[in-house]
Chains A and B, each alone.
Chain A
Amino acid sequence: MYKYHGVIGFGVAMFSVEELLKMHGEAEREVYLDLENSAPVAPEVLEAMLPYFSEKAYGNPSITHKPGWMAYDVIQRALENFRRWLGASRVEEINFTPGETEANNLALIGAAQGNKRKGRRIVISAIEPLSILHVAEHILKPLGFDVVKIPVDEEGFIDLDSLDEAVNGETILVSLSAVNHEIGTIQPLREAVELVRDRNPEAVFHTDASDAYGRIPLDVERLGVDMATVSSYKILGPRGIAALYVREGVEVKRLLEGQLGTQRLWPGVENVPLIVGFQKASELIFRDFDGKTSHMKHLRDQLMDGILNSISGTLLNGPREERAPDNVNISFLGCEGEALTIELSLRGVYVSSGSACTRRLLQPSHVLTAIGRRPEEAHGSILMKVSWLHSDKDVDYVLRVLPEAVERLRGLSPLKEG
């Protein structure tokens, strides 16, 4: 059993997490909306994965025996499917990695190292996820690369004029998310790619498409990007797997060395069950892309409008149009986000917050501050993502318990509205 050590005075107290969980009691309904941070796998995904743990294709795909060839076959089929879903031209352009963090690290560090002869400038936006932002600032900058962060407007759209100014002959890499992970802004990526190409056709263009894949149409050829990260768990696939598309001819150095298998850019034994799960989650979405994304949009709008119309002192973070079909991000003024996540957890609704209190530094979400939210507005922000597995009943339940939760916390506060 996991124990937490809380230091008190000069001694140490042990809390049992079990006790904490018991205090939650039985909620009338449980609605998990924290798909940004982790997610349950869809039942069909789990079912598809199970045989691959111990019944079949458990061999190493690089070894010449039946279980190995079976694994090789599974991976080749998966690569072909992902090639098709992403609009890539060759299966060799798809690389599985153990997650988006690894894929983004590989894209940034790998392409920076692979292209450093051509220049030192790397351009990102101010609202990239930390696996881009921190890699650029804490790994690439100390290595002597010049990192330029371009600003965004109050809805999170990248400033194309700043991008135009930032890209020069020294620019070797540009990384801009297709859809922002916190506020759901769908970026004008095609325009951004064209602009970068005009300025410097040699620059490598990477997009973290973790929040685009399976939610908005995504075609690497049509967009003209050189690299794209796509995520499994955000579409109800398993955690621990993601893919990085790397266009043929783009120089990317491996981050890790070891035994290479079918994956040129990531050594080690391929994780067949997770690849199968990621493939199944993708297949479920792409089999009925319009139906599933319209369903998400419907739930998103019910939730978003329901909250904004029924609770005063609320602000929508991110745009209303050009917004990811799954993303709802709202600030509840006069409410602290961590308290609100716990209050909602006690009522069976699971969300996350951009509050400083959920982070170790006393700084709220960098995305919310970049769009101009004041710290006190960011502290009260709640991020929710819907999936095709959610129903109207889930949204109705959230809309019923959320006003009570907000009202209770506002009732305790010495800050009066306004």
Chain B
Amino acid sequence: MSRVPLPYGPKVLELFRNPKNAGAMEDATVSATAGSPICGDVIAIYLKIGEGDVIERATFESYGCAANIATASILTEMVKGKTLREAWEITWRDIAEELGGLPSIKFHCGTLAVGALRRAIRAYYEKRGKPPWLPEEATLEEKQALEAERMGEILSRRIGGGDVERSPR
């Protein structure tokens, strides 16, 4: 169980220190979360969607490490002014690139942020009817968010109080 080498890039540290678009949005059109407090990271994304399905504003909340906060923050910057279809195309790699790189162990923060965003987009179209470009099947990032949540459940069952004699082998 080694420690993570964590020299974050300056952009990650700057966004951690002064995150843009932090906080819940009172008048959000739609919002979604991804992740599990048991795994130590949760991202919530809030979107204000205007005419033509354009994202007018986006904010985030984050419970997690510095990379978690930075990825959520940069994503809210990246989606501003984009249509939902354009925003859907953003991948965790785009986020990592925009941040000037992420330690490999922190890639999942990017997938979690994208997972939350895509969940919000799906939620938006749930009431309005699915557009043809929106895939039926969950994408990589959505699957990984689900995976993290499942892992949280497993961990909480396995690590639950004092179960040391049957602890991980």
Name A's B-contacting residues (CB within 8 A).
Answer: 4, 6-9, 12-13, 15, 17, 19-20, 23, 126, 130, 134, 137, 149, 151-152, 154, 334, 336-339, 342-343, 346, 355-364, 366, 369-372, 374-376, 379, 411-415
Contacts and interface: CB of A to CB of B under 8 A. Distances in A.
Contacts of A359: 1-4
Contact of B41 (A134, A336, A343): A336
The winner among B44, B66, B68, B97 for most chain A CB atoms within 10 A is B66
Interchain residue pairs A-B with the least CB separation, the first 5: A6-B101, A13-B101, A414-B61, A126-B164, A414-B44
A311 to B, nearest CB: 17
Given A130-B1, A413-B61, A356 B101 contact: no
A338 B13 CA distance: 13
Given A15-B8, A357-B4, 12 more contacts: A6-B103, A8-B97, A9-B93, A152-B164, A343-B16, A360-B4, A370-B162, A374-B160, A376-B38, A379-B37, A412-B63, A415-B37
A374 B38 contact: yes
B50 interface: no
Contacts of B33: 414
Contacts of B65: 336, 338-339, 342, 355, 357
A369 B7 contact: no
A360 B164 contact: no
B62 A375 contact: no
B63 A334 contact: yes
A356 B102 contact: no
B132 interface: no
B52 to A, nearest CB: 28
Interface residues of B, number: 58
B24 interface: yes
A17 B5 CA distance: 11
B73 to A, nearest CB: 9
A167 to B, nearest CB: 15
A140 to B, nearest CB: 14
7 contacts: A15-B101, A339-B16, A357-B4, A360-B3, A374-B161, A379-B37, A411-B23
Given A15-B8, A342-B66, A374-B156, A8 B164 contact: no
Contacts of B1: 130, 134, 359-361, 363
Interface string B34-76: 0001111111100000000000000001111110110000000
Nearest to B17: A346
A413 B41 CA distance: 10
A17 B6 CA distance: 10
A336 B39 contact: no
B58 to A, nearest CB: 14
A413 B164 contact: no
A175 to B, nearest CB: 16
